[in-house]
Amino acid sequence: MASHQDTSYKAGEAKGHAQEKTGQMADTIKDKAQAAKDKASELAGTARDRTAESKDQTGSYVSDKASAARDKSCETGQAAKEKTGGVVEATKEKASQMGESAKETAQAGKEKTGGVISSAAEQVKGMAQGATEAVKNTFGMGGGNEEKSTTTTRTTRSD
């Protein structure tokens, strides 16, 4: 029986060693699994940080480009407004000059016409006075000894 007990003892001892080895291997596997999990978590965090940073940079880039486009649009609008204002001002000035020129032309025409009418009126007046004197003399109503007054009108045209 001693050999049976010895075998049984050795079997129990082997079983204990096997359980201990299994426990050690299980702990080692658990440690390695935990290390892999920690490493994966760390890599995921780093990737997340890089993605956020890249997103921020991309957002900043897009924002900068949009801001630059908006600024350029404003500058273009302002330049167009200034150019239009200059055109409007030039048009106003040209219209003012043309109005002044028309006014001066009208004034010169009025003066010229007034001079012609005035000369014509003087001529008609002189002829009427001459006709009146002739009629008076014909009917004997004229003053015989009075000196005759003759009006001479000179007409000058300026073209």
- pLDDT value of residue 134: 84
Q: Is 71 found in the same domain as 42? A: no
Q: What is the span of the domain harbouring residue 33?
A: 10-53
Q: What tens digit of pLDDT does each residue of 30-52 get?
A: 888 888 888 888 888 888 888 87
If we measure between CA atoms, which residue out of 101, 72, 36 comes closest to residue 44?
36
- Specify whether the CB–CB gap between 155 and 123 falls below 8 A: yes
Residues 68 and 47 in one domain: no
> Taking 70 as the threshold, does the pLDDT of residue 21 lie above it?
yes
In a domain, 45, yes or no: yes
Q: Please indicate, yes or no, if residue 26 is contained in any of the structural domains.
A: yes
125 vs 63: CA distance, rounded Å = 91
pTM exceeds 0.75, yes or no = no
Total number of domains in the chain: 2
Residue 93 DSSP symbol: H
Q: How confident is the model at residue 149 (pLDDT cuts 50, 70, 90)?
A: low
